[in-house]
Amino acid sequence: MAPSIVLLLDHDPDLAEDLPPGERQEARRRAVARVARFPRGPWSIAPGEFDSAGSLGLLIIEGLLVRKVTVGRRTCAELLGPGDVAQPWLRIGPDWSVGAEVNWQVAEPVAAAVLDREFTARVARWPELTAAVARRVMWKVHWLSFHLAVSRMRRVDDRLLLVLWHFADRWGRGTPAGVELRVPLTHSLLALVVGAHRPSVTTALRNLAEEGRIEALPRSRWLLHGGPPDELRRMHEHAARREGPRSAGVAPA
């Protein structure tokens, strides 16, 4: 881990969208966070390393984290990338009736801003910033509801196409050829995300490529052709309704 610092609002200006214009320059100067870096491979956080009282969590600046949750013989995966907030030190308590095993993997080297007690004290003058970080957590709830709806679809190729476009909304880049996904998504990782076996995912991806919907790029990246399926909008709306009125107005990043 090589620590450094970042002016968070320079890197993630969306966090300042609710600040009064006259306050933004001072908030920019004060919203300084140290950066923790993690290489590819299994990831674990030592107790007390980042989880001080008053900590908001780790805000990912770059890279890709995979959170795998196993219950019995079934494993599913959640992806966290730039803009997401994580608190990996949280654990399921011993009094829970159903146990689950949680493992973290760094799929792409991660740089994360440490939003610790010192950071929250520096920006306490601007509750809009704390609220903006809290909204990132609510986005995760929305995305998890969306993934739950996707996992119930019968066809694997439909699940994959929706998930790829969903990730494109978050981490894609428009190009003349289509929307390029800038995070590595292997067949095995996509299988965990959509709740399917890897051979089925490989076959479905090949079918989507033959239909001209997607194109494989080097290093497990993808190029999406055409436009997103209408089902994507409907499923986001359904997921928002499941969360209730507090988060119904949240749009995917």
> How many structural domains compose the chain?
2
For residues 81 and 171, membership in a common domain is answered with no
For residues 120 and 8, membership in a common domain is answered with yes
CA distance 163 to 169: 10
pLDDT of residue 117: 92
For residues 117 and 154, membership in a common domain is answered with no
Burial pattern 12-26, b for ≥16 Cβ within 10 A else e, equals beebbeebeeeebee
The answer to whether residue 102 is domain-embedded is: yes
Q: What are phi and psi of 122, to 5 degrees?
A: -65, -30
Q: What are 217-248's pLDDT values in tens digits?
A: 999 999 999 888 876 666 656 555 555 543 33
| CATH code of 183's domain | 1.10.10.10
Q: What are the structure tokens assigned to 86, written together? A: 């994580």
| CATH code of 52's domain | 2.60.120
Reported confidence tier of residue 253, pLDDT bands at 50, 70, 90: very low
For residues 52 and 156, membership in a common domain is answered with no
Predicted TM-score of the model (pTM): 0.81
The answer to whether residue 67 is domain-embedded is: yes
For residues 55 and 166, membership in a common domain is answered with no
For residues 121 and 177, membership in a common domain is answered with no
pLDDT of residue 97: 61
The answer to whether residue 130 is domain-embedded is: no
The answer to whether residue 253 is domain-embedded is: no
Average pLDDT over residues 23-33: 95
The answer to whether residue 248 is domain-embedded is: no
Is residue 69's pLDDT more than 90? no
Cite the beta strand spans of 116-217 per DSSP E.
172-175, 178-181, 214-217
pLDDT of residue 234: 65
Residues 6 or more apart from 111 whose CB is under 8 A from it? Answer: 35, 36, 37, 60, 61, 62, 63
Cα torsion at 85, 62, 167, 176 (round to 10°)? 150
- How many CA atoms within 13 Å lie on the side-chain side of 56? 26
Q: What are phi and psi of 246, to 5 degrees?
A: -65, -35
Is residue 190's pLDDT more than 80? yes
CA distance 17 to 91: 32
Give the DSSP per-residue string, 56-70.
-EEEEEEEEEEEEEE
User: Could you list the residue range(s) of the whole structural domain that residue 191 is in?
Assistant: 150-243
Q: Could you tell me if 62 and 82 are in contact, meaning their C-beta atoms sit under 8 angstroms apart?
A: yes
The answer to whether residue 250 is domain-embedded is: no
For residues 109 and 61, membership in a common domain is answered with yes
